[in-house]
Structure 1
Amino acid sequence: MDDRTPSVAPHQHPDLRLSFGPAAFAYAAHRPDYARAAARWALESAPGPRVLDLGAGTGKLTATLVALGVEVVAVEPDPAMLTELRRSLPAVRALQGSAEAIPLPDASVDAVLAGNALHWFDMAVAGPEIARVLAPNGVLAGLWNVLDDRVEWIAGLARAGGGAAIGPRDTFTGWRAETARAHLPKDGGAARFGSAEQRHFPHGQLRTADSLVATLATRAGILVMPERERNAALSGIRAYLEKEPETARGEFTLPMLTGVLRVRRL
């Protein structure tokens, strides 16, 4: 899933929340995976190996979890995204469902992870659902891939992209300020969650100017724009990349971090 911080709760923005399906193939092709060290830290205190990737999209985080050797089940509401996940990871059990209606039994997983998706959940409903499927002492963690705006040209890119392509939570500075506890359950029903922990891990993605523009074009804020506005926004980003020495010629490593927000079910 994705990205921009809306002016009201994301679950109240169906156009944004459900904008990814038509771009499922591009999402699968261009979105980055997640730093393995980040996923490893998210899971380090889980009581067992059973992991739910919730809001799994096309399986970017799912693939990272498979590489770590845990037992993964993926749940995704969008049929097009789910089709891409099943195509790329046919051995993974992948179910249609949502954070607010998880198609799994009580206490059936040791950890629930969400990659660039936790901010889309309606936690008033999803919090008790997540608590229901988590085993005692299970872990809930959100992971976000963010641009490292401590790097000068990334800070410039964020300004060139504007709020639609690169929102406050899409850069490291914004993520660190906005994410802590903001998207975690306030109440897990009969269960409770402990104190939140936040960490970030170095990550990167090999890109060209063209492929970075294609990546940013899969952002929810861009996807729901009228075509003329979308083209203008992407043209501005392309013009910026074509004049920056770090990005104007050939391939470069996009400086990123995978941020993690982790909490334990008590």
Structure 2
Amino acid sequence: MTDVHGSAQEGFSREAKTYSLGRPDYPEELLGWLGGELDIGAGKEVVDLGAGTGKFTALLMRTGAQVTAIEPVAAMREQLSEKLPGAKVLHGTAQAMPLAAQSIDALTCAQAFHWFANERSLHEIHRVLRPGGHLGLVWNVRDESVDWVVEMTRIVERYEGSTPRFHTGLWRQAFSGARFEPLRLREFSYQHVGPPEQVIVARVLSVSFIAALPEEQKQRVAEQLRELIASHPDLKGRSEVAVPYRTEAYSTRALG
């Protein structure tokens, strides 16, 4: 059994460039959260687990900490190294990190923890963190108080199947053991601004299970999104749109 879910391995391998193009970055306010909640700064050793193309890694590097990005999908690592040539990038998984025990001060998972939310992964995360070390989990969640955002989600979710997703909340079950303090949540508002082809079409095509679809089905998804853009009064004729997000940032600490 592989440590990387099939949808992630196939979809992210196929569409790493689309992921890099279409995924939103993160709110500036997270820099304060990284320092205040996770005690990340100069002199600290930090890991970005499931780093993907490095969108969150770039934010971590701005803290002055020593950052190591760990990512199992080769195509994603290539995008990360191209975007952040100074980054330390390692192949590894949440279940097997190439790190010594109690060697890091903090670990983050951005847009990733739902893929490996199980006891085995948390055991490995606990192994590499120093006692009292910090764990941060971050997700950009589309703001569905906006009607056309709801329509985006409707187009996506018909293909979801049993793929692990943040919105199910099942990832929380991994914390039922006693290895970590209770999770603390901070929320931030964010807008992904850009051409609709980038922030709507490429964003949806970067979703793992959409990226893994046969080409004909993937093109049908893109057509539905373009129909939405062409017909909705808040989107049609616009060269730039703002997709609203709610960024959820969870923090906890490893118990001794």
Residue in structure 1 matched with residue 214 of structure 2 by the alignment: 226
Could you tell me which runs of 5 or more consecutive residues in structure 1 were left unpaired when the two chains were aligned.
1-9
Distance in 1 separating the partners of 2:163 and 2:250: 16
- Structure 1 residue matching 2:15: 3-state secondary structure: helix
- Structure 2 residue matching 1:53: 3-state secondary structure: strand
- Structure 2 residue matching 1:146: 3-state secondary structure: strand
**60, 63, 70: which one pairs with 1:75?**
70
Residue in structure 2 matched with residue 196 of structure 1 by the alignment: 183
Q: Is the 8 A contact 1:148 1:255 kept in 2?
A: yes
Residue in structure 2 matched with residue 244 of structure 1 by the alignment: 232
Offset of residue 186 of structure 1: 3.9
RMSD of aligned C-alpha atoms?
2.7
Residues 40 and 142 of structure 1, relative CA distance in 2, 3 Å threshold = same
Distance in 2 separating the partners of 1:250 and 1:241: 11
Question: Is 1:84–2:72 an aligned residue pair?
Answer: no
Q: Is the 8 A contact 1:118 1:183 kept in 2?
A: no
Question: Is 1:253–2:216 an aligned residue pair?
Answer: no
Residues 101 and 13 of structure 1, relative CA distance in 2, 3 Å threshold = closer
Mean Cα displacement is larger for which, 228-237 or 44-53?
44-53
- Structure 1 residue matching 2:48: 3-state secondary structure: strand
Offset of residue 59 of structure 1: 0.3
Offset of residue 123 of structure 1: 2.1
Q: Is the 8 A contact 1:36 1:68 kept in 2?
A: no
Could you list the per-position Cα deviations for residues 182-216 of structure 1 after superposition, in whole angstroms to 9, with x for gaps in the alignment?
2644447xxx2111122221111112222220221
Q: Is the 8 A contact 2:4 2:93 kept in 1?
A: no
Q: Within 5 Å, give how 1:208-223 maps onto structure 2.
A: 208-211=195-198, 212-223=200-211
Residue in structure 1 matched with residue 142 of structure 2 by the alignment: 147
Residues 15 and 221 of structure 1, relative CA distance in 2, 3 Å threshold = closer
**172, 179, 184: which one pairs with 1:182?**
172
Distance in 2 separating the partners of 1:180 and 1:99: 17
If the length of structure 2 is used for normalisation, what is the TM-score? 0.86
- Alignment-mate amino acid for residue 117 of structure 1: A
- Alignment-mate amino acid for residue 25 of structure 2: D
Mean Cα displacement is larger for which, 63-72 or 42-51?
42-51
- Alignment-mate amino acid for residue 205 of structure 1: H
Distance in 2 separating the partners of 1:142 and 1:164: 25
Offset of residue 60 of structure 1: 0.6
If the length of structure 1 is used for normalisation, what is the TM-score? 0.83
- Structure 1 residue matching 2:62: 3-state secondary structure: helix
Residue in structure 1 matched with residue 129 of structure 2 by the alignment: 134
Question: Is 1:28–2:15 an aligned residue pair?
Answer: no
Distance in 2 separating the partners of 1:198 and 1:43: 15
Could you tell me which runs of 5 or more consecutive residues in structure 2 were left unpaired when the two chains were aligned.
none
